Amino acid sequence: MDVQKEIEALRREIEHHSRLYYVLDAPEISDYAFDMLMQRLKKLEEEHPELVTRDSPTQRVGGEALSQFEPVTHQVPLESLTDVFSEEELFAFGERMDSLLAEEHEYDVEPKIDGLSMSLEYENGVFVRGATRGDGLTGENVTENLRTVRSLPLRIKNAPERLIVRGEVYMSKAVFQELNALREVNGEPLLANPRNAAAGSMRQLDPKIAASRKLDIVCFNLQYSSGAPFATHTETLDALREMGFPVVPYARCGRVSECVERIRQLGEERGSFAYDIDGAVIKINSLAQRSALGSTAKAPRWAVAFKYPPEKKESRVLDIVVQVGRTGVLTPKAVVEPVRLAGTTVSAATLHNQDNIDRLDIRIGDTVLLQKAGEIIPEVLSVNKAKRPEGTEPFRLPLICPECGSPVVRDEDGAALRCTSPECPAQRLRNLAHFASREAMDIEGLGISVCESLINSGLVQTAADLYSLEPAQVAELDRMGEKSAAKLIAAIDKSRQAGLARLLCAFGIRQVGQKAAKVLAAHFGDLDALMAAGEEELTLIPDIGAVTAGFITGWFQNPQSRHLIERLRAAGVNFRSLEEKKDSRFAGLTFVLTGTLERYTRDEASAIIESFGGKTASSVSKKTSFVLAGENAGSKLTKAESLGVPILTEAEFEEKIQ
């Protein structure tokens, strides 16, 4: 077959199966078969780069990172809707429509998806631009990020010359929970709700990050079409579905009373949707009638959005349990009598921390009012003290970790209590993944999934266990095999010589990241010397304050930390610094790196600067000493020029380090 024809056939087949999988949830082939199709297309496009097109399925991974989002003026304004909060207001809307429209009219009712509104532009069937709603008149160009949304068709069939569609980008509840679980493992702040997560993902400057967030889209309006006109809104939705768009479910209703019944039904079904809905939309279906009704300065007259009130129900607290998260934070949870709330059965509710418990004065046996925060996480709103039984006592979080018995400490900048043990069973996955991470011991091939497999198999409990693994043991894990196992064991062996700076970062001591670890390694040169240092000595070191010094000494004083260290020593892990301090010519100077250097990676250039006593920073300010600029330097170079910060070429930098 001709290469170009094979490429085009592969693209059509992949898009067909993508729609079945991501839009209709009805796959016809296995994941493996789909991957093989994609691999074949990638191979052909690599061999024939002149045949790569912007609408190819291979381009969904995201292009180059952007420095900013360009403004986009919407050809058709993306109007917002008037909110109503009661059925009485819905009937009042119906009466207005009756008075304004002399002829018969019908309505359309749709769930109101709680996501991020987008304008999608197509030319001759090809997706060419996407923009956020913004203020309705002007939005931001997020085309590259939208290309990563698997359920968005990059090419559509039977398309008019020009088409503009309005959709809602969302993060599914399942993906949101998965993302938060991963952030918890990595010690990152948890995201508040799926809508915020979707909005933050869509505004990432690097499309590859947006791609990793597994966003989806549902389309709910045809903004503009150069093709044949339509008579009703529901006809446009049917047409969009035929073109390959994922379309919002709708119900046609002849009377407002039927709309109200449908809205009640949607409210009861809220928990069954893959996405969050915060209301329902009622619209006049006829496009001609819509045009006659027009819009006010703020919203169309022909539609309103009914907002569901947060559902609240009472239940009784059976117990208060304390769980230890993967970052060591102790989280209290109220175990309650099961109650149906916002579409699911709730049997537990978060209490957040001791401060919140004290504020609510919640006790075992209390009757409490529950609500789902962001329609996802059950929480206690208040305590009905009139129903409090006699003999209840205030609840206090424990002073030792319920998982491992180590002391707990309160965050100096918050209300959280945290376990101090590096070997706490509840923190195993997070600690192991961090130990192996690129900025720490840099064990290639030891990602989250492999760490989880090692822990679940019983082969690894702490990082020290890695150094006694045998290739045959690892080969038996899911998705490993002999070759992968051999590579992983080799990477683990290599990490024995990673050096003190990486080891200190790998320990996960609070406020001791890469930079502080390098400073400590350069100052002490040896782990035993650091362990013998007191808080006062540590505070004399640049960049090590009193709080960080307290975290360091506290960590080394923990018996479980000592046990981990001795096991690593026995395994032959290097406790000495690899950093060779040359001289202090860059002492007191701060460098910012931007662009692509020809002879050095960013990490290599940073290490050289630090070996001469200098520091590196991620952003340019008046305090920046030099900006080291390579090819394709971006906004940092522009800012440096505006502030008058000296700019070094790579050649000038090399002159300074001779």
Give the model's pLDDT for residue 585: 84
∠ CA 306-310-311, rounded to 5°:
115
Give the model's pLDDT for residue 25: 52
The domains located in the chain, with CATH, are 3-52 (1.10.287.610), 82-307 (3.30.470.30), 312-387 (2.40.50.140), 425-495 (1.10.150.20), 500-570 (1.10.150.20), 590-657 (3.40.50.10190)
In this prediction, the residues of the chain whose per-residue pLDDT falls under 70 are 1, 19-27, 30-33, 35, 60-68, 186-187, 326, 342-343, 373-376, 412-414, 579-582
5, 43, 112, 283: which one is catalytic? Answer: 112
Structure tokens at 178: 């998965």
CB-count burial class (<10 Å; 0-12, 13-18, 19+) for 544 = buried
Give the model's pLDDT for residue 581: 58
Give the model's pLDDT for residue 7: 83
CB-count burial class (<10 Å; 0-12, 13-18, 19+) for 559 = exposed
| DSSP designation for 620 | -
Give the model's pLDDT for residue 122: 97
Asked if 512 and 548 touch (Cβ cutoff 8 Å), the reply is yes
Helix H, strand E, coil C: the string for 456-479 is: HCCCCCCHHHHHHCCHHHHHCCCC
Residue with tokens 């609070």: 510
Measured CA to CA, the distance from residue 410 to residue 407 in angstroms comes to: 10
Distances (CA, A) of 622 to 66, 192, 617, 649: 24, 35, 12, 19
Q: Is there a catalytic annotation at residue 112?
A: yes
Give the model's pLDDT for residue 66: 46
Q: How many CA atoms, within 13 angstroms, populate the side-chain half-sphere of residue 601?
A: 3
Q: Cβ atoms within 10 A of the Cβ of 528, count? A: 12
∠ CA 153-154-156, rounded to 5°:
65
Nearest to 337 by CA among 320, 318, 351: 318
pLDDT tens per residue across span 338-377: 988 766 788 999 898 888 999 999 999 999 999 876 556 7
Asked if 575 and 528 touch (Cβ cutoff 8 Å), the reply is yes
End-to-end CA distance of the chain: 58
Nearest to 29 by CA among 9, 45, 13: 13
Distances (CA, A) of 49 to 35, 93, 147: 20, 56, 19
